[in-house]
């Protein structure tokens, strides 16, 4: 299964914004929504193509309420996410799956009061099998997101 994770903007309640609006609610109606991190909405789709199509359907809401939209496609990586742009580029055969892992955004995960919260990303370029240690904050875990070369070094959807 391909997973999708939407990371809400700091000043909104993402789940509320999505389910309170008819078009977004209809697009999400067939999915079981989860919240793996504070202010996120995650779900499973059947393929990379369906994940990208869903994100395209939700674009109006993503622009307004979402800081990051990620896709985890097992045929690319079992444990690294793809940015929305990279997922679309792989789907469209603009980027080879095996060559998609050089540019990364590494997000810290902090557990506090029973909630897992994402921190700001640290952008790194993969030069070998080991990634640099996340050092922007003291964190309990990290989330690795593959990004396009154009996205490298800045916040993107």
Name the 3-class secondary structure at 13.
Answer: coil
In a domain, 154, yes or no: no
Q: What does pTM read for this prediction?
A: 0.93
* Stretch 92-103: mean pLDDT: 93
Instruction: Find, among 146, 92, 136, 117, the residue nearest to 38 by Cα.
Output: 117
Residues 72 and 106 in one domain: no
* Stretch 87-112: mean pLDDT: 95
Q: Check residues 51 and 130 and name the one with the higher pLDDT.
A: 51
Residues 44 and 85 in one domain: yes
In a domain, 153, yes or no: no
Residues 45 and 84 in one domain: yes
Q: How confident is the model at residue 150 (pLDDT cuts 50, 70, 90)?
A: confident
Residues 29 and 91 in one domain: yes
Residues 38 and 69 in one domain: yes
Residues 18 and 77 in one domain: yes
In a domain, 63, yes or no: yes
pLDDT of the residue at 129: 86
Residue by residue, DSSP assigns 84-130 as: HHHHHHHHTTSS-GGG--SEEEEEEEEEETTEEEEEEEEEEE--SSS
CB 145 within 8 A of CB 105: yes
In a domain, 152, yes or no: no
CATH of the domain at 51: 3.30.70
Instruction: Find, among 30, 79, 56, the residue nearest to 157 by Cα.
Output: 56
Domain that holds residue 110: 98-146
Q: What is the mean pLDDT of the chain?
A: 94
Q: Is the pLDDT of residue 155 over 50?
A: no
Count how many domains the chain has. Answer: 2
pLDDT digits (tens, 9 = 90+) for 38-75: 999 999 999 999 999 999 999 999 999 999 999 999 99
pLDDT digits (tens, 9 = 90+) for 29-39: 999 999 999 99
Other Cβ atoms less than 10 A from the Cβ of 61: the count is: 19
In a domain, 23, yes or no: yes
Q: Burial, 131: exposed, middle or buried (Cβ in 10 Å; 0-12, 13-18, 19+)? A: middle
């Amino acid at each position: 299964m391909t997973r999708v994770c939407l990371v809400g903007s700091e000043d909104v309640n993402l789940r509320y914004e999505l389910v309170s609006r008819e078009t977004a609610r209809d697009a999400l109606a067939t999915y079981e929504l989860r919240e793996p991190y504070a202010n996120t909405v995650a779900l499973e789709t059947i393929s990379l193509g369906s994940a990208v199509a869903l994100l395209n359907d939700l674009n109006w809401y993503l622009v307004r309420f979402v800081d990051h939209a990620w896709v985890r496609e097992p045929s690319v990586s079992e444990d690294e996410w793809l940015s929305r742009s990279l997922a679309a580029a792989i789907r469209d055969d603009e980027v080879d799956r095996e060559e998609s892992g050089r540019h990364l955004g590494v997000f810290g995960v902090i557990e506090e009061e029973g909630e897992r919260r994402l921190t700001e990303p640290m952008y790194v370029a993969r030069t070998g099998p080991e990634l640099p240690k996340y050092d922007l904050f003291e964190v309990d875990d990290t989330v690795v997101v593959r990004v396009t070369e154009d996205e490298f070094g800045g916040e993107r959807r």
